[in-house]
Chain A
Amino acid sequence: MKDFAFSTAHSVDDAAHAAASGARPIAGGTNLLDLMKLQIETPNRLVSVRRLPRLDRVTVTDEGGVRIGAEVTNAALAAHPLIRQRYPLLSRAILAGASAQIRNMATTGGNLLQRTRCVQFYDMTDACNKRQPGSGCGARMGGNRMNAIIGGSEACIAVNPSDMSVALRVLDATVHVQDATGRVRAIPVASFHLLPGETPERETALQPGEIITEISLPPPPMGVHHYRKVRDRTSYAFALISVGAVADIREGRIVSARFAFGGIAPRPWRVEAAEAAMANRPAEVATIEHACDIALEGAKGYGDNDFKILLARRTLVATLLT
């Protein structure tokens, strides 16, 4: 590990100033420290955003939604009564990820920023355009079981590994950020994670110096909440496929349904047109398969991950119809 300086910010302003001058924010450190040990990330300075005032709570908004402080831990968020009662999708998604120990450390803001688990990204001896722009993509040469089938590019087929983000995408979350000048921005989670294109090293819409302060959720949509995660062992593994969904199905008809896939794309994969195609249709396999076709239009495998196309379809049907 390379030497680095460490400081603690006591206000968002502090943190934003530090970040603007090149410090890397660190909260739980459950991802960043691993990457630093392998020298995949080599920041000169870290600024802890673990002790920012008032960002460790979940509150109800005037509109009937919730605001979640960026420093709320994954464990606290999943266990919060407001979330369990009104946004069980979010609770379930968080609890499907990592381990209890990691969830105790990881934060909401940090989870949104967690980086891909692509094997080649982690192998400093392999080519990776995300880690070292222009070096190529080792994942296209094989060993891509965990990689994307949609949303990737020539340059990068890495997957966003977050379970929480899948739920946030389905729930239409908004990410609130603030920079060193005090300017605040509200970024819809739909545009928070970027597709790789030719610049896979750019992963989010955050500008240098911006600090995530809160995530807000509108009132929960009508319907039953589902989070189904399919993986290579029963727990403590990243998703091969996950489905986050809220479905209002009555008397054999889909009144409304929304869903996003995790584990298949560089960001939570939600296609609103696919959801529209299900509305007011019979709740049967053909309806779901049609919606899945729309959602996964253009999907392709790279060898080891070919199976994900079939698995996504079957998992979506199983999630919505059983």
Chain B
Amino acid sequence: MTGIGNGVPRVEGRAKVTGAALYTFDLQPSEIGATQPILHGAAVLSTIACGRILALDTAAAEHSTGVRLVLTHRNMPPQAEWGPLNANVRFARAQPVFGDEQVRYFGEPVAFVVAESFECARAAAASIQVQYEADQAHTVLDSEHGIDPAPLHGGQSSDSSVGDFHGTFATARHRIDVQYETPYQNHAAIELQASIAAWDGDHLTVHTPAQITSAARTGLARTLNLPEDRVRVVARLIGGGFGGKLPYFADAVLCAVAARQLRQPVKFSFTRQQMFTATTHRSAVSHRVRIGVTTEGRITAISHDAVSQTASFDNYVDGSTAGAKGLYGAKAIRTTQRIARLDLPRSDSMRSPGDANGSMALECAIDEAAHACGQDPVAFRILNDTRVNPTTGRPYSSRHLVACLQEGARRFGWEERRSGRKGEWLIGQGVASAMRDNLVRPSAAQVTLTPAGQLVVRLDMTDPGTGTITILTQIAAETLGLPMEKVTVMLGDTDFPKTSGSGGSFGAESSGSAVYEACLALRRRLDDMTKGRDASPETVLRLVGEAGGVTAEGKIAPGDETKRYSEASFGAQFAEVAVNVHTGETRVPRMLGVFACGRIINERTARSQALGGMIWGLSSALIEANNVDHRGQMAMRDLANYHVPVLADIQNIDAVLLPETEPVANPLGMKGIGEVGINGAAAAIANAVFDATGIRIRRFPITLDRLLPGLPPLA
């Protein structure tokens, strides 16, 4: 049995664990269809946060062994202007590199060396001397100075307001008014950002791990003033995306320009250290959350005001308020999102962008509200459940938050939980709700049944390690009644039909539905060929053979249902922590997440998604952060200092996926699973820390130095 629902292993799993799988930077000339050797690039980054390049001494680099080209703003060919800021697809904007002598953040690429070997390129890059004239840089996120991003988004505001928040809040029996701070984070995916560019006449092919290949293609074409049909972007395998590869980056532009000038393919990867500034990060966010509650524990008023950082030249908004808008049935809700444009690298999407940190603030504040009115935190959330999104007024198409909370409480042993001291450890438990809006994006797929009986599925969807290749194989196999080994899924190529790409939890259901529709179309074509008669497989194959193969296409786009329903995945997060009474070290002996995310195509990969999100939640609660130093530099720039959890940090962890079928969003009954797993996970841990210690830390991560002053005196 190979069909939907089974936890079949990843199609490409063996290749990945044996090292046979090829990622972008691994590709050799023969694998990109090149006959020449591939040249290597190396980049030099700025060492001021704001100002101008006064002088660039590249003479030594140009004469260095093996060097073929040095690119700087002085010799870069003309490129399009940055933007437009308010482009329909943010990841398809023009992004000129070395456009002028301006420096906009610390660690921005300012020079690029291409040489015959990696070593030559790096040695030459290290010899480049840059002189700057620095201006006063603004690098401190200050919640007082956020601006309304609407004018930078064509007037479109993300603020919301229903009911009379101020009046309702003012008269509430219990009022929570708290400020939470969530920090900068970096993606730190194992695969670095890298590109290989090669030209065939005036056609450009760029291999780069872009989560949305079509957006990268449009963006590159715009940047380089090329017609889109002369640009192809390929991303066969991606070694971790997490939103950090939704944009394309300077590596793609620089390789394309250099390869054209040198008439030879060029590859370049940022170093691990460079990744921390030359790509995008999760913004730090300052959150003010207010919650008004009646004597009986009913939430009447919620507000969430978020201020996030964006680059001085950008308009990205983080610090989502979706939870405040839709999780609980308050009659008065208002939310605002403001941005501070700072002289720092670009912030952009990272795993559940906005909601990952928005839920940290909201779900801790909800815990504070439950305590204020003397309610059990699980019961409090159940009491305030809603069937209708209170901000949009639209009913949820499927919402099983209460079931998640109840099933979670049962499995976790919430009622029997024991807090208190055990040896030198303070034990506590916490809970949080999780929600992530569901999205379907226009997607198409093409399927071909070959004369040999192999089904080849083509679409420009990508698999950033989530299991997309496998679930699309399953969907195609199930829909056509084929064994999985008779299905070959080919992804990540703009020569294939355009899809959503991967991101925002929309990838699986958008591309999956397109594959499903394409397979149905193929079945109709086969039925036509057999004239509706019940034909044997042999007959069908003979007919397909005579036709030289049969191809069909299918597509999906969001329809009217999004105007009638609110769609979201839900979950409940439970955590037990142990805080060392002497040192404040926090361990997490137990984590449980229960999720309702529509129909599960592959239990194994879906559960991995949920567990990965929960682990990142643990990381956000206790471990992971970057800081900006006094020069505007990201202080942590390697995996020794930028801490993410290690295996020893993860003890008993489980994710349960409740049976659910989404009735309206798509024909497969699916919802997004990629991001809901991180939402609320950090808050559950923070709430457990409070339960264990009585200390409420409102600045993440909860490192031991923040707990230390509040721990009991030494006995």
Asked whether, in the complex, the Cβ of B646 is within 8 Å of the Cβ of A142, the reply is no
Asked whether, in the complex, the Cβ of A311 is within 8 Å of the Cβ of B126, the reply is no
Q: Which of B273, B584, B623, B714 has the largest count of A CB atoms less than 10 A from its CB?
A: B714
Asked whether, in the complex, the Cβ of A234 is within 8 Å of the Cβ of B649, the reply is yes
Per the bound structure, the CA–CA distance linking A234 and B619 in Å amounts to 12
| Chain B residue at minimum C-beta to C-beta distance from A125 | B47
A205, CB-defined interface residue at 8 Å? no
B715, CB-defined interface residue at 8 Å? yes
B131, CB-defined interface residue at 8 Å? no
A183, CB-defined interface residue at 8 Å? no
Asked whether, in the complex, the Cβ of B627 is within 8 Å of the Cβ of A230, the reply is no
Asked whether, in the complex, the Cβ of B582 is within 8 Å of the Cβ of A232, the reply is no
Per the bound structure, the CA–CA distance linking A20 and B636 in Å amounts to 36
Asked whether, in the complex, the Cβ of B424 is within 8 Å of the Cβ of A141, the reply is no
> Out of B119, B123, B629, which one reaches A142, CB within 8 Å?
B629
- Give, as a whole number of angstroms, the nearest-CB distance from A144 to chain B: 10
B704, CB-defined interface residue at 8 Å? yes
Asked whether, in the complex, the Cβ of B123 is within 8 Å of the Cβ of A2, the reply is yes
> Which B residues from 549 to 580 make CB contacts under 8 A with A?
580
Q: Contacts of B47 on A, CB cut-off 8 Å?
A: 125
With contact pairs A126-B633, A240-B704, A318-B582 given, residues A232 and B123 touching in the complex (Cβ less than 8 Å): no
Asked whether, in the complex, the Cβ of A237 is within 8 Å of the Cβ of B643, the reply is yes
Q: Contacts of A230 on B, CB cut-off 8 Å?
A: 583, 585, 704
Per the bound structure, the CA–CA distance linking A222 and B705 in Å amounts to 34
Asked whether, in the complex, the Cβ of B583 is within 8 Å of the Cβ of A314, the reply is yes
Asked whether, in the complex, the Cβ of A233 is within 8 Å of the Cβ of B714, the reply is no
Q: Which of A141, A232, A307 has the largest count of B CB atoms less than 10 A from its CB?
A: A232
- Give, as a whole number of angstroms, the nearest-CB distance from A190 to chain B: 27
> Which B residues from 667 to 700 make CB contacts under 8 A with A?
none
Asked whether, in the complex, the Cβ of A126 is within 8 Å of the Cβ of B631, the reply is yes
> Which A residues from 219 to 263 make CB contacts under 8 A with B?
230-238, 240-241
Stretch at the interface among A116-124, A191-199, A270-278: A116-124
Asked whether, in the complex, the Cβ of B715 is within 8 Å of the Cβ of A311, the reply is no
Asked whether, in the complex, the Cβ of A235 is within 8 Å of the Cβ of B646, the reply is yes
Q: Contacts of B648 on A, CB cut-off 8 Å?
A: 233-236
Asked whether, in the complex, the Cβ of B582 is within 8 Å of the Cβ of A315, the reply is yes
A317, CB-defined interface residue at 8 Å? yes
Asked whether, in the complex, the Cβ of B643 is within 8 Å of the Cβ of A311, the reply is no
B137, CB-defined interface residue at 8 Å? no
Asked whether, in the complex, the Cβ of A232 is within 8 Å of the Cβ of B640, the reply is no
Per the bound structure, the CA–CA distance linking A230 and B707 in Å amounts to 14
Q: Scoring B residues 617 to 653 as 1 if CB is less than 8 Å from chain A, else 0, what string do you get?
A: 0000011000101110101111011010111110000
> Which B residues from 577 to 618 make CB contacts under 8 A with A?
580, 582-585, 587
A65, CB-defined interface residue at 8 Å? no
Q: Which of A122, A138, A143, A231 has the largest count of B CB atoms less than 10 A from its CB?
A: A143
Asked whether, in the complex, the Cβ of B714 is within 8 Å of the Cβ of A143, the reply is no
A285, CB-defined interface residue at 8 Å? yes
Per the bound structure, the CA–CA distance linking A318 and B273 in Å amounts to 37
- Give, as a whole number of angstroms, the nearest-CB distance from B576 to chain A: 15
Q: Scoring A residues 106 to 130 as 1 if CB is less than 8 Å from chain B, else 0, what string do you get?
A: 0000000000010100110110000
A101, CB-defined interface residue at 8 Å? no
A322, CB-defined interface residue at 8 Å? yes
Q: Contacts of A233 on B, CB cut-off 8 Å?
A: 622-623, 643, 645-646, 648-649
Q: Contacts of A235 on B, CB cut-off 8 Å?
A: 646-649
> Which B residues from 416 to 448 make CB contacts under 8 A with A?
424
Interface size class of A (residues with CB under 8 A): 35 or more
Asked whether, in the complex, the Cβ of A285 is within 8 Å of the Cβ of B582, the reply is no
Asked whether, in the complex, the Cβ of B703 is within 8 Å of the Cβ of A232, the reply is yes
Asked whether, in the complex, the Cβ of A39 is within 8 Å of the Cβ of B126, the reply is yes
B287, CB-defined interface residue at 8 Å? no
Per the bound structure, the CA–CA distance linking A125 and B48 in Å amounts to 9
Asked whether, in the complex, the Cβ of B708 is within 8 Å of the Cβ of A311, the reply is yes
Q: Scoring B residues 701 to 714 as 1 if CB is less than 8 Å from chain A, else 0, what string do you get?
A: 00111001101001
- Give, as a whole number of angstroms, the nearest-CB distance from B98 to chain A: 19
A3, CB-defined interface residue at 8 Å? yes
B122, CB-defined interface residue at 8 Å? yes
- Give, as a whole number of angstroms, the nearest-CB distance from A199 to chain B: 25
> Which A residues from 127 to 164 make CB contacts under 8 A with B?
138, 141-143, 145-146
| Chain B residue at minimum C-beta to C-beta distance from A234 | B648
Asked whether, in the complex, the Cβ of A317 is within 8 Å of the Cβ of B636, the reply is no
| Chain A residue at minimum C-beta to C-beta distance from B625 | A232
Asked whether, in the complex, the Cβ of A119 is within 8 Å of the Cβ of B636, the reply is yes
With contact pairs A1-B122, A311-B708, A322-B424 given, residues A143 and B582 touching in the complex (Cβ less than 8 Å): no
- Give, as a whole number of angstroms, the nearest-CB distance from A152 to chain B: 19
Asked whether, in the complex, the Cβ of B583 is within 8 Å of the Cβ of A315, the reply is yes
A38, CB-defined interface residue at 8 Å? yes
Per the bound structure, the CA–CA distance linking A65 and B704 in Å amounts to 39
Asked whether, in the complex, the Cβ of B123 is within 8 Å of the Cβ of A310, the reply is no
| Chain B residue at minimum C-beta to C-beta distance from A145 | B705
With contact pairs A233-B623, A285-B714, A314-B714 given, residues A117 and B708 touching in the complex (Cβ less than 8 Å): no
Asked whether, in the complex, the Cβ of B640 is within 8 Å of the Cβ of A117, the reply is yes
Asked whether, in the complex, the Cβ of B646 is within 8 Å of the Cβ of A234, the reply is yes
Q: Contacts of A119 on B, CB cut-off 8 Å?
A: 635-636, 641
- Give, as a whole number of angstroms, the nearest-CB distance from B57 to chain A: 17
Per the bound structure, the CA–CA distance linking A145 and B640 in Å amounts to 14
Q: Contacts of A232 on B, CB cut-off 8 Å?
A: 623, 643, 703-704
- Give, as a whole number of angstroms, the nearest-CB distance from B317 to chain A: 28
Per the bound structure, the CA–CA distance linking A317 and B711 in Å amounts to 14
Per the bound structure, the CA–CA distance linking A141 and B638 in Å amounts to 20
Asked whether, in the complex, the Cβ of A317 is within 8 Å of the Cβ of B123, the reply is no
Asked whether, in the complex, the Cβ of A141 is within 8 Å of the Cβ of B646, the reply is no
- Give, as a whole number of angstroms, the nearest-CB distance from B700 to chain A: 13
Q: Contacts of A138 on B, CB cut-off 8 Å?
A: 629
Asked whether, in the complex, the Cβ of B635 is within 8 Å of the Cβ of A1, the reply is no
Per the bound structure, the CA–CA distance linking A119 and B636 in Å amounts to 7
Per the bound structure, the CA–CA distance linking A159 and B582 in Å amounts to 23
| Chain A residue at minimum C-beta to C-beta distance from B45 | A125
> Out of B623, B629, B649, B714, which one reaches A317, CB within 8 Å?
B714
- Give, as a whole number of angstroms, the nearest-CB distance from B339 to chain A: 25
Q: Which of B122, B636, B649, B705 has the largest count of A CB atoms less than 10 A from its CB?
A: B705
Q: Contacts of A145 on B, CB cut-off 8 Å?
A: 705
- Give, as a whole number of angstroms, the nearest-CB distance from A37 to chain B: 8
Q: Contacts of B122 on A, CB cut-off 8 Å?
A: 1
Q: Contacts of A236 on B, CB cut-off 8 Å?
A: 646, 648
Chosen A-B contacts, 22 in total, with CB atoms closer than 8 Å, are A2-B126, A39-B126, A117-B640, A117-B641, A125-B47, A126-B629, A141-B630, A142-B629, A143-B630, A143-B635, A145-B705, A231-B585, A232-B643, A233-B622, A235-B647, A237-B643, A311-B583, A311-B584, A311-B705, A314-B582, A314-B708, A314-B714
Give 16 A-B pairs besides A3-B119, A117-B641, A143-B630 with Cβ atoms closer than 8 angstroms: A3-B123, A119-B641, A142-B629, A142-B630, A143-B627, A232-B704, A233-B645, A233-B646, A233-B648, A235-B649, A236-B648, A237-B643, A238-B640, A289-B714, A313-B714, A314-B708
The 5 closest A-B pairs by CB, nearest first: A318-B582, A307-B705, A234-B648, A235-B648, A125-B47
